[in-house]
Amino acid sequence: MNLLSYKGYTVRVEFDGRDNLLVGHVNDISDVIGFHGESVSDLRAAFEEAVDDYLEPCAKRQRDPDNPASGRLMLRHNPVIHAAR
């Protein structure tokens, strides 16, 4: 799988056949960051600009930006169960 990645953010890309555009949305955050481009290079530039445009006001307002979820889940359970493998 090929992913566009920038500053820890990755994207989901779809093709809009009606407008003949590549449309991207940042994955794994609750805030919405969307962008589009007519080519892969346009899409990459729009992605990086959208992330920067998201991070800049967060820094100015001293608000932590939404960071992508790692997908890892850590939990504790009984050591006896762990040792029984």
Task: Name the more confident of 63 and 36.
Answer: 36
Contacts of 16 (CB under 8 A, 6+ apart): 22, 23, 36
pLDDT for 63 equals 86
| Per-residue pLDDT tens digits for 32-57 | 999 999 999 999 999 999 999 999 99
For residue 2, pLDDT over 70 is answered with no
Section 19-38 average pLDDT: 94
